[in-house]
């Protein structure tokens, strides 16, 4: 795993990482997170993010926002 992918993986430590990959210039992650709401009910949310990496630093981030559910 590239340093950029490791950096992105650290960003989602609180989530369940589903997929992570990189092409040397971009890193993509797909993740989901189980949560317990104040009323005690459980819900899962998921999302994806794509990072542009220059000189080992994240310079841009694209994401699709959170959606309820899990990745299948």
How do residues 20-72 score in pLDDT, each as one tens digit?
788 888 888 888 888 888 999 988 888 888 999 888 888 999 988 878 888 77
Can you give the C-alpha Rg of the chain in angstroms?
A: 13
CB neighbour class for 51 (10 Å; exposed up to 12, middle 13-18, buried from 19)? buried
Contact 17, 39 (CB under 8 A): no
pTM for the model stands at 0.62
SS3 34: strand
Provide the token pair at 24. 């040397």
**Helix intervals (H) in 1-72:** 3-11
């Amino acid at each position: 795993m590239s340093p950029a992918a490791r950096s992105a993986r650290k960003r989602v430590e609180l989530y369940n990482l589903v997929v992570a990959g990189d092409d040397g210039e971009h890193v993509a992650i797909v993740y989901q997170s189980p949560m317990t709401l104040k009323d005690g009910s459980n819900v899962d949310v998921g999302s994806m993010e794509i990072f542009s990496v220059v000189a080992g630093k994240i310079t841009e981030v694209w994401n699709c926002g959170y959606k309820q559910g899990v990745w299948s």
